[in-house]
Amino acid sequence: MGTAIKFRNAIALASGKGGVGKTNISVNLAIALRKLNKRVTLFDADMALANAHIVMGVQPTMTLVDVLDHEKSLMDVSTIGPLGVRLISGGSGLVELMNVPSEQRSRLIHSFAELEATCDYIIVDTAAGIEDNVLEFVRACNRIMIIVVGEPAAFIDAYACIKILHQNYGIYTFDVIVNRSRDDTHGIDVFKRFKGIVERFLDANLYHVASIPEDNQLHVSVARCNPITIMNPDAPSARAIITLAASLVKTDDSQTNQIAPYSSHKSETSEPDKSGDRLI
């Protein structure tokens, strides 16, 4: 299973199912945090099929292959993207990254330490699926955000992702982002239905942290390789992501040395909160 290690300022975005908008949210959340004067690194952990660089409109000159095969550091292979967001690309269509051994994945994850010292947030855009190469990156992050859309297949795959992280790794707390909602009411309804399914079978806490509306302007931004939070920050999807970023920063900036950072692992001193709502 690899070595257990968790980074305080790392946020994993996961879904189980592909095609739910995870990379778009990852990229735009990173940019929204940067607009709030935070130092942000986006780590594209989709080994061999990375596409965050396409959404960002940048072309990396080095990828994780250079870390694994040529002993480069993560900082060495990083690319500066929009507004100064630092991108570490997993590469695309590279055979070398299709079956990375556990020892090498563990080395990559331990390398997050050099990023943690130089940025306020590490956004980890994980691959679709629930294989070890996905879960090891997720469990290294202090906060886990699960992306769902209102479709049965997305529910099933997101549930499978939560189930494995919960039962195999003792993770109890998950933030949920509902993507492509028709409106706020629909987003809340999708979350409640998904939360009900998960809590019927698992002793896990799910919290609804954002609903991102279906937005034609987002599709235009993808086609132009220009993130929506830059191309049109007033678009409905951009506003939702910017609000999420502001909530994260407000919560993190209010913490003191006496307040333990948010952790996805179960507290031994408090009862689980089943309300589904919290300040993130």
Mean pLDDT of 187-209: 97
Which residues in the chain belong to E strands, given as ranges?
Answer: 7-14, 40-45, 79-80, 86-88, 121-126, 141-148, 173-181, 205-213
How confident is the model over 231-279, as pLDDT tens digits? 999 999 999 999 999 999 998 887 633 333 445 665 433 344 444 655 4
Provide CB contacts within 8 A for 137, sequence distance 6+. 12, 43, 45, 105, 109, 124, 126
CB 52 within 8 A of CB 23: yes
Per-residue pLDDT at 85 exceeds 80: yes
What integer pLDDT is reported at residue 93 of this predicted model?
53
Give the pLDDT confidence score for residue 117 in this predicted structure: 84
**pTM score:** 0.89
What residue spans define the domains of the chain? 7-251
**Over residues 215-224, mean pLDDT:** 96
Q: Residue 154: pLDDT above 80? A: yes
Q: What percent of the chain has pLDDT over 70?
A: 85
- Is residue 262 within 8 Å of 142, Cβ to Cβ? yes
The mean pLDDT value of the chain amounts to: 87
More confident residue, 113 or 242: 242
Average pLDDT over residues 95-120: 80
Q: What is the DSSP string of 194-245?
A: HHHHHHHH---EEEEEEEEE--HHHHHHHHTT--HHHH-TTSHHHHHHHHHH
Predicted local distance difference test score (pLDDT) of residue 48:
65
- Could you tell me the fold of the domain covering 7-251? Rossmann fold (3.40.50)
* Total residues belonging to the chain: 280
**Rounded average pLDDT over 85-91:** 90
Q: Judge whether residue 80 has pLDDT over 80.
A: yes
Of the ranges 66-75, 83-92, 169-178, 253-262, the best mean pLDDT one: 169-178
Q: What does the alpha-carbon distance between residue 88 and residue 68 come to, in Å, rounded to a whole number?
A: 13
pLDDT at 265: 60
Residue type, 221: S
Query: Which tokens in the block code for residue 109?
Result: 């994850």
Asked whether residue 61 carries a pLDDT value surpassing 50, the answer given is yes
Q: Are 44 and 70 in contact (CB under 8 A)?
A: no
